[in-house]
Structure 1
Amino acid sequence: MPQDTPTDHANSESIYQDAYALLGFRVEYLAPTNGWSVFVVGDNLTDRRHASSSSMRHQATAAQPGFLSGLGRNVSVGVSWFF
């Protein structure tokens, strides 16, 4: 299970990234011949606001936590060709 994560090297108790999980999917059709595939990918389907990463500091404060926001709900479609 995900756990809260400290965002500075001092592990300050007041500056933690809350634990979260994201819901996504991938559906792919792989052609039996000709080496190609088509796919649909969905990420963050619940459109949860989250930090995808953080900028580590020696000691963070609430005024400068350094969280980098993640993408909202998104869907991609693509084709791959293997040669």
Structure 2
Amino acid sequence: MNSNWIYGIGIALAGIFSLFFIVKLDLQNALIGMLALFALTNSARAKQFKSQGMIRESRWMQGLSMLFAIALAVVLFIRLLG
């Protein structure tokens, strides 16, 4: 399976997940979905920038992706503890 399909499916699922919980006004779970969505979209953009030869922009997007992934892990850890 192509990695673009995997990114696309992950982004769609994270978007649907966060939208579902926004409608239900469960903002704690919506935050988890949005963090996952931001991490996936920034990672996909970093891959796209790298393939276009924009190395600095790719590193910047990869850094943002890592920031959101770490934030996601912290939020999930806090949710499991509390």
Give TM-score scaled by structure 2 length.
0.29
- Higher-Rg structure is 1
Would you tell me which structure has more strand in proportion to its own residues? Answer: 1
Hey, which of these two has a bigger chunk of helix by percent?
2
Q: Which has the higher contact order (CA 8 A, sep 6+)?
A: 1
